[in-house]
Amino acid sequence: MTTSKKGLLYVISGPSGVGKGTICKEIIKRNPSISISISATTRKMREEDIEGVTYYFKTIAEFEEMIENNSLLEWTNYNGNYYGTPVAPVKDALNAGRDFILEIEVEGALNVKKIFPDAVLIFVDAPSFADLEKRLKGRGSETDETLKARINRAKEELLLKDKYDYVVVNNTLETAVSEIENIIKGE
C-alpha cells in the first residue's frame, strides 16, 4: 500500500514594507522544493512588477469573474484594490506533496486558517514602527495618500499578530530567512 504525504501550507504575512517579499524570494531560492503562490490583483503595476511573476494583473471585471467562478481560495480588498489567491495551484501543490507559501495580508491569512487548519501562519514584524515607516517611505512606490493608507493598515495588522503561530522579526534578511527555514524544518 502506498501512502501519499500531503504538502504543508505556510502563510506569511506582515505589514506593508516589512520586507516579506524579499524574504519569501530568498526562501524559495534556497529551497527549490517549495513553491509560492502568485496572487491576482487589480492594483496598478509597479516598475519592478512582472505579469505572471509578481502578480496576475486583472481588471475589476476579470477579478470579480474569478470570485464568481470560485477560482480563488481567499480574496480581500486592500486599500481599494482586490487581491486574491488562485485556488488550483494551492490544491495541486499540496496534493502532490509539495509545500506551498502564500504571502498575503492578515484577513486573508486568517481565512486560509479556517479552510486549512493545518496551515502554518508566520507573521513578519519590523524591529520598530519607526523602522517600518522609514522602509515604506524609502521604497518610493507610494503617493502620500497610499502611503498613509498602508501605514494605517499596518497598525491594524500588527494588532492581529498574536493570532499567528510564529512571529519573526526582520532585523536582517539573513536572520529572518534562517528563522523561517528553521520553522519549516520543525514542522
Cα angle, residue 144 at apex, residues 128 and 159 outer, rounded to 5°: 35
DSSP 156: H
Q: Which of 71, 76, 87, 183 binds ligand 5GP (CB under 6 A)?
A: 76
The CA–CA distances, whole Å, from 75 to 49, 63, 104, 107, 140 equal 20, 10, 9, 9, 26
> Which lies closer to ligand 5GP via its Cβ, residue 34 or residue 37?
37
By CB under 6 A, residue 39 contacts ligand 5GP: yes
> Which lies closer to ligand 5GP via its Cβ, residue 7 or residue 84?
84
How far apart (Å, rounded) are the C-alpha atoms in residues 23 and 154? Answer: 18
Contact code string over 128-157 relative to ligand 5GP, x by CB under 6 A: ------------------------------
Residue count of the chain: 187
By CB under 6 A, residue 42 contacts ligand 5GP: no
> Which lies closer to ligand 5GP via its Cβ, residue 105 or residue 179?
105
By CB under 6 A, residue 43 contacts ligand 5GP: yes
Tell me the closest approach of the beta carbon of residue 105 to ligand 5GP, in angstroms.
Answer: 4
How far apart (Å, rounded) are the C-alpha atoms in residues 142 and 178? Answer: 30
Question: Residues binding ligand 5GP: what is the number (CB under 6 A)?
Answer: 13
Question: Cell 479556517 belongs to which residue?
Answer: 114
How far apart (Å, rounded) are the C-alpha atoms in residues 19 and 176? Answer: 10
By CB under 6 A, residue 84 contacts ligand 5GP: yes
Largest interatomic CA distance in the chain: 60
Rounded (10°) angle between helices 129-139 and 144-158 = 150
By CB under 6 A, residue 85 contacts ligand 5GP: yes
Residues in the site for ligand 5GP, rule: CB under 6 A? 16, 39, 43, 74, 76, 78, 83-85, 103-105, 108
